[in-house]
C-alpha cells in the first residue's frame, strides 16, 4: 500500500480547489483513504492520518470516525503520537461521548509519567474536556502535581484544578491546602489560577466563604491588596502589559475576589479601602482595558462596606462613563447607577443632567435605561424640571417606550405633585401625548383624582372639553373627558372657572360632541359606554336631553330607561361622591388587607382559606424560585350600605334587552368604567360580541387523582378569572385529609376559598370542589404551581405540579 500524503501536501492540495464542490470531493477521497488505513490497523501512519483528520475537522467536515484512533495514539509510548492523540481527544471528544471514559486510565498513567511534558499533555487534556466522573477519579493526581516543585507542572496543575472544581465543587476542600502558597508565586499565571479557584469556591459554596472570612480572610485580603498595589504602581513590563496597563486580567480577578470577601465584613472592607481609591484614581481611562478595571473597582466599592467618600468617587466614575463615546460603556454606567440610586441618591443626583441627555441617544437600550434612571431620580425638589424633560421624551420617543413612560409619569406625579392643578395638567398632557398607549388603569385613577379635587372641577371639565374638540382619537382622554362632562357639565355650561378665562358653551354643543363620540368609528365600545353614561347623567342637568332621546328612541330605549322615569333620576344620576383610594396599586376589585378582611360581596361563597405562614413558606420552597407568590387572603370590597341598596331596589325588576339585570353605579373606584348601568358595553348597539365560554381543562391526573379546572369571568371586573377545581378519585379507597394549595407569579393575585370537603370519594362517586379567584391586571399568560396533599390507605401522599396550558380565554 503506498504511503499516504503528508499533512502539508493535503493542505496545499485543498487550497488549490476553486469551488466548494471540488474541495468536498478532495476531502471525501482523502477520508476514504484514511478509513482504509484505520481498518488495516496501520500503526506506521496512524499519527499522520489523525493529524490530517483534525485539519479536516477544523474545516468543518465530519471526523468522528477517528475518535478511537486518538485513544490508540494516547496509549502509545512515543511522545509525538501522544501529542497528536491528546490534541485529537480535546477536539473530537467531550462528555457527550461515552468513549471519553476509556481515556481515564491512560491519563492517570501519564499524570504519573517521568517526563514532565507527557504530564503536561495529560493535565491540559483533563483541564479541557474532563467530565465530572474523570475529575473525581483523577483529582488526587492533580492535587499531588499542584504541590510539586516543578513550576511548569504546577502552573498546568493549577489550571486543571480550576476545571476540576468547576465540574465537582465539593472537591474544593481537597485543593485548599495545596493552593495557599500560590499567591507567593512570582508567576502571574499562578496568581490568576489561585484567584479563579477562590472565586469558584466563594461563589458556589457559602461554607467555603465563611471559612475564608473567619479563618484566614485577615491574611488573604492583605496579600491580595499587596499584589494589586504592585500591579498599579509597577512600571512598564512587556510580559504583562496590555495597552499600557500591567496585567489587567489579574487586576480584574483580584477586584472580584475582594468584592466577595469584603461583603458584609467591616474589617476586610476597611483593609481594602485605600487600594480601591488608588486603583480608581491611577488607572488610565483612555483605553477600554482601563475602563474595564474601573468598572470592576466601582462594583467592588458599591458592594463592600466602603467609606462615603469612596462611594461618591465610584459614582463620579460612572458619571464619566456616561460621557464616553462607546455605547457599551454608557449602557454599563446607566445600569450600575440604576442599582445604586436607592442607596446613594444624592450622589447620583449630581449627574442628573447627563442622565437626562442620554434620553436623546439613538440606541434603544441606552434610552430605556436612561428613562428608568430618570424616574428613579425624581423627587419633590426636581419634580417640575424632570417632568418637563420626561414629557418631552414621551412626545418624541418610539411607541415601545410610551406605555412605560406614561406609567412612570403617573406614579411620579401622584407621589410628588406640588399642586392638584399641576397634577391634573400633567396627566392630561400624558393622555394627549401617549394616546392609546396609556394603560387601562390610568383612566379610573385620573377620574378618582378629579373627583377628589373639588375646587378644580370647573377648570378640569373646561380643559377636557377643549381637548375633546381638538382630538377624539385618544381613547383614554375621550373616556375621562366624557366622564367629567357627565358629572360636571353644568359647570361647563355656566362658565364658572376661577383658574382661567371661562368659555361659552351651550347645552346643545355639549350634546353634539357626545353624540359625535357615539357614532364615531374611532370610539371603542368602552368609550361609547362612557359617552352614553354622560348623556344619561346630563338628563338631570340639561333640558335638551329629551330631544336626543326622541331622535334615537328605537336604538336607545332599552339603555335610557332611567331617563324615561323622572322619579328615578335624582337617585340614579346624582353626582359621584368623593372616592376613597384603595391601598393597592391602582383601583382593583381585590384589596389586600393588613391581616384583617372585610365581608365578601358574595356571601354564598365560603370564607377564604387562611394559609398559615409556615405552610406558605414551605410551598414557596417546594415550588422553587422567587417568582411565585403563595395563596394570599383577599376580599372583595363591600357595597355601600345606603346608596347601593336604594339603587338595587330601583333597578332590581328591570331586564334590559333580555340581558342580566344591571348593577348600580359604583360609589368607590373600580377597574371598570364607572357606568351607571354595568354591562353597557355588551349591548348589541355596539356590536361587541360576548366572550365565548372558556373550555375546561385537566390540570392534574396521577395516581388515581384527577383535578379538572372550569372557568368563568367575574362580573363586573374582566381582570378576575374564577377557577373552580373539581377533584375526583378513581381508586378503590377514599382520599382523606385532601388539601389543595397553589402559587402564582407576583404579577397576579390569588384568592383560594374553602373546599367543599376534605375527603375525595373513591370510584369517582363524588367530587371535591374549590373556588380560586385570580386577578390578572396585566393580561399576562397565567401560570400556576399546585401542591396536593392527601392520605390514601393510611399513607400520606404529597405531589407537586405546574400548570402552564391554561386556555387563552382565561387570561386575555
pLDDT in tens, 445-460: 888 888 888 888 888 8
DSSP 676: S
User: d(Cα 675, Cα 346) in Å, to the nearest integer?
Assistant: 46
As a whole number of angstroms, the distance between CA 680 and CA 559 comes to 8
Residue 635 in 3-state DSSP? Answer: strand
Position 202 confidence tier, pLDDT thresholds 50, 70, 90: low
Highest mean pLDDT among 184-188, 243-247, 800-804: 800-804
476531502: which residue's cell? 27
Give the whole-angstrom CA distance, residue 658 versus residue 525. Answer: 19
Residue (of 114, 97, 116, 108) closest to 135 by Cα position: 108
Helix count (H) and strand count (E) of the chain? Answer: 35, 13
Q: What is the mean pLDDT of residues 191-204?
A: 67
Output DSSP code: residue 692: P
Among residues of the chain, what percentage have pLDDT more than 70? 75
Residue 209 has pLDDT above 70, yes or no: no
**Which cell is 449 given?**
383624582
According to the model, what pLDDT value does residue 437 have?
82
Going by pLDDT thresholds of 50, 70 and 90, the confidence category of residue 659 is very low
Mean pLDDT score, 62-82: 90
| pLDDT one-digit tens code per residue, 550-595 | 455 444 444 454 544 555 556 667 777 776 655 444 333 333 333 3
Most confident of the following: 380-394, 471-485, 689-703, 772-786? 380-394
Whose grid coordinates read 475602563? 291
Q: Please tell me the predicted confidence (pLDDT) of residue 180.
A: 67
pLDDT score for 668: 34
Percentage of residues of the chain with pLDDT beyond 90: 27
The angle subtended at Cα 810 by Cα 805 and Cα 812, nearest 5°, is: 105
How confident is the model at residue 509, as a pLDDT? 85
The CATH class for the domain spanning 606-667+692-812 reads mainly beta
769 forms beta bridges with 726
Q: Rounded distance, CA 519 to CA 515, Å?
A: 7
Q: pLDDT tens for residues 20-39?
A: 999 999 999 999 999 998 88
Instruction: Calculate the CA 60 to chain-centre distance.
Output: 38
Question: In degrees to the nearest 10, what's the CA dihedral of 222, 223, 228, 229?
Answer: 60
**What does the pLDDT read at residue 237?**
66
Q: What is the pLDDT of residue 605?
A: 38
CB atoms within 10 A of CB 637: 19
CA distance 667 to 360: 44
pLDDT confidence bin for 492, thresholds 50/70/90: confident
Contacts of residue 290, Cβ cutoff 8 Å, sequence gap at least 6:
243, 245, 248, 283, 284
- Weakest mean pLDDT among 296-300, 440-444, 739-743, 759-763: 440-444
pLDDT beyond 70 at 644: no
Q: How far apart are CA 426 and CA 4, in angstroms?
A: 82
Whether 648 shows a pLDDT value over 50: the answer reads: no
Task: Give the model's confidence band at 123: pLDDT under 50 very low, under 70 low, under 90 confident, else very high.
Answer: very high
In this predicted structure, the answer to whether residue 283 has a pLDDT above a threshold of 50 is yes
Of residues 454, 432, 435, 441, the one with CA closest to residue 414: 441
**What per-residue confidence (pLDDT) applies to 74?**
92
List, for residues 718-769, the tens digit of each pLDDT value: 778 888 999 999 998 999 999 999 988 888 888 888 888 889 999 888 899 9
- Average pLDDT, rounded, for the chain: 77
Cell numbers describing residue 741: 394549595
Per-residue model confidence as pLDDT tens digits over 599-632: 333 333 334 444 444 444 444 444 444 444 444 3
Residue among 251, 254, 256, 373 nearest 304 (CA): 256
Place of cell 340639561: 542
- Cell numbers at residue 390, please? 420626561
Q: H helices of 378-474, where? A: 383-396, 399-416, 420-434, 442-452, 457-470
> Is residue 527 classed as helix, strand or coil in its secondary structure?
helix
345-373 mean pLDDT: 92
Lowest-confidence region among 280-289, 395-404, 678-687: 678-687
Q: What is the pLDDT of residue 766?
A: 87
- pLDDT of residue 806 exceeding 80, the answer is yes
How many angstroms separate the CA atoms of 30 and 59, rounded?
Answer: 14
Neighbours of 617 (CB within 10 A): 12
Query: Rounded to an integer, what distance in angstroms lies between the CA atom of residue 145 and that of residue 420?
Result: 75
> Does residue 324 surpass a pLDDT of 60?
yes
Residue 776 confidence (pLDDT):
83
Amino acid at each position: 500500500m503506498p504511503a499516504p500524503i503528508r499533512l502539508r501536501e493535503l493542505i496545499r492540495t485543498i487550497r488549490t480547489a476553486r469551488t466548494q464542490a471540488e474541495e468536498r470531493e478532495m476531502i471525501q477521497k482523502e477520508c476514504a483513504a484514511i478509513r482504509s488505513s484505520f481498518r488495516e490497523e496501520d500503526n506506521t501512519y496512524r499519527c499522520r492520518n489523525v493529524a490530517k483528520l483534525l485539519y479536516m475537522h477544523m474545516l468543518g467536515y465530519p471526523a468522528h470516525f477517528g475518535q478511537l484512533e486518538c485513544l490508540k495514539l494516547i496509549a502509545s509510548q512515543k511522545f509525538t503520537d501522544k501529542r497528536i492523540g491528546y490534541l485529537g481527544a480535546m477536539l473530537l471528544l467531550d462528555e457527550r461521548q461515552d468513549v471519553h471514559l476509556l481515556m481515564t486510565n491512560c491519563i492517570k498513567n501519564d499524570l504519573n509519567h517521568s517526563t514532565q511534558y507527557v504530564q503536561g499533555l495529560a493535565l491540559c487534556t483533563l483541564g479541557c474536556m474532563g467530565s465530572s466522573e474523570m475529575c473525581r477519579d483523577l483529582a488526587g493526581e492533580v492535587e499531588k502535581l499542584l504541590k510539586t516543585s516543578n513550576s511548569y507542572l504546577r502552573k498546568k496543575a493549577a489550571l486543571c484544578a480550576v476545571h476540576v472544581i468547576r465540574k465537582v465543587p465539593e472537591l474544593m476542600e481537597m485543593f485548599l491546602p495545596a493552593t495557599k502558597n500560590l499567591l507567593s508565586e512570582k508567576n502571574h499565571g499562578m496568581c490568576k489560577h489561585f484567584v479563579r479557584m477562590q472565586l469558584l469556591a466563594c461563589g458556589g459554596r457559602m461554607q467555603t466563604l465563611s471559612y475564608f472570612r473567619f479563618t484566614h480572610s485577615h491574611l488573604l485580603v492583605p496579600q491580595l491588596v499587596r499584589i494589586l498595589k504592585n500591579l498599579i504602581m509597577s512600571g512598564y513590563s512587556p510580559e504583562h502589559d496590555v495597552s499600557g496597563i500591567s496585567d489587567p486580567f489579574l487586576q480584574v480577578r483580584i477586584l472580584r475576589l475582594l468584592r466577595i470577601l469584603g461583603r458584609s465584613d467591616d474589617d476586610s472592607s476597611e483593609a481594602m479601602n485605600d487600594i480601591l481609591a488608588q486603583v480608581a484614581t491611577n488607572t488610565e481611562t483612555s483605553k477600554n482595558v482601563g475602563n474595564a478595571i474601573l468598572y470592576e473597582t466601582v462594583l467592588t466599592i458599591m458592594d463592600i462596606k466602603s467609606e462615603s467618600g469612596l462611594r461618591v468617587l465610584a459614582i463620579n466614575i460612572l458619571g464619566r462613563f456616561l460621557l464616553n463615546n462607546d455605547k457599551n460603556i454608557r449602557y454599563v454606567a446607566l445600569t450600575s447607577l440604576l442599582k445604586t440610586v436607592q442607596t446613594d441618591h444624592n450622589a447620583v443626583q449630581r449627574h442628573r443632567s447627563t442622565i437626562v441627555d442620554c434620553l436623546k441617544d439613538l440606541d434603544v437600550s441606552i434610552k430605556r435605561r436612561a428613562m428608568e434612571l430618570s424616574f428613579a431620580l425624581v423627587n419633590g425638589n426636581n419634580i417640575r424640571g424632570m417632568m418637563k424633560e420626561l414629557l418631552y421624551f414621551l412626545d418624541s420617543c418610539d411607541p415601545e417606550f410610551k406605555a412605560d413612560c406614561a406609567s412612570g409619569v403617573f406614579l411620579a406625579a401622584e407621589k410628588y405633585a406640588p399642586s392638584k392643578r399641576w397634577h391634573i395638567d400633567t396627566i392630561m398632557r400624558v393622555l394627549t401625548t401617549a394616546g392609546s398607549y396609556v394603560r387601562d388603569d390610568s383612566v379610573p385613577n385620573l377620574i378618582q383624582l378629579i373627583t377628589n379635587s373639588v375646587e378644580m372641577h370647573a377648570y378640569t371639565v373646561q380643559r377636557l372639553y377643549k381637548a375633546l374638540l381638538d382630538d377624539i382619537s385618544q381613547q383614554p382622554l375621550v373616556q375621562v373627558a366624557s366622564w367629567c362632562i357627565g358629572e360636571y357639565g353644568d359647570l361647563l355650561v355656566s362658565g364658572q372657572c376661577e383658574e382661567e378665562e371661562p368659555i361659552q358653551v351651550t347645552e346643545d354643543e355639549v350634546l353634539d360632541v357626545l353624540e359625535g363620540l357615539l357614532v364615531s368609528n374611532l370610539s371603542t365600545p368602552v368609550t361609547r359606554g362612557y359617552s352614553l353614561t354622560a348623556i344619561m347623567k346630563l338628563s338631570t342637568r340639561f333640558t335638551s336631553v329629551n330631544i336626543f332621546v326622541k331622535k334615537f328612541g328605537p336604538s336607545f330605549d332599552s339603555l335610557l330607561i332611567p331617563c324615561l322615569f323622572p322619579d328615578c333620576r335624582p337617585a340614579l344620576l346624582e353626582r359621584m361622591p368623593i372616592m376613597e383610594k384603595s391601598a393597592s396599586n391602582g383601583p382593583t376589585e381585590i384589596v389586600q388587607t393588613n391581616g384583617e378582611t372585610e365581608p365578601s360581596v358574595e356571601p354564598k361563597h365560603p370564607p377564604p382559606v387562611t394559609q398559615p405562614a409556615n405552610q406558605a413558606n414551605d410551598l414557596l420552597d417546594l415550588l422553587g424560585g422567587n417568582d411565585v407568590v403563595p395563596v394570599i387572603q383577599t376580599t372583595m370590597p363591600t357595597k355601600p350600605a345606603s346608596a347601593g341598596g336604594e339603587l338595587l331596589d330601583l333597578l332590581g325588576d328591570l331586564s334590559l334587552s333580555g340581558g342580566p339585570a344591571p348593577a348600580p353605579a359604583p360609589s368607590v373606584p373600580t377597574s371598570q368604567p364607572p357606568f351607571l348601568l354595568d354591562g353597557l358595553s355588551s349591548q348589541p348597539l355596539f356590536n361587541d360580541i360576548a366572550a365565548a365560554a372558556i373550555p375546561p381543562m385537566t390540570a392534574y391526573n396521577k395516581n388515581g387523582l384527577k383535578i379538572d379546572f372550569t372557568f368563568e369571568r367575574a362580573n363586573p371586573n374582566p381582570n378576575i378569572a374564577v377557577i373552580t377545581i373539581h377533584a375526583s378519585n378513581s381508586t378503590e379507597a377514599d382520599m382523606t385529609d385532601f388539601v389543595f394549595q397553589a402559587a402564582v407569579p407576583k404579577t397576579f393575585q390569588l384568592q383560594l376559598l374553602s373546599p367543599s370537603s376534605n375527603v375525595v370519594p373513591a370510584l369517582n362517586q363524588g367530587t371535591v370542589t374549590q373556588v380560586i379567584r385570580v386577578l390578572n391586571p396585566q393580561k399576562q399568560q397565567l401560570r400556576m404551581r399546585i401542591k396536593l396533599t392527601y392520605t390514601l390507605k393510611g399513607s400520606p401522599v404529597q405531589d407537586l405540579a405546574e400548570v402552564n396550558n391554561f386556555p387563552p380565554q382565561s387570561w386575555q
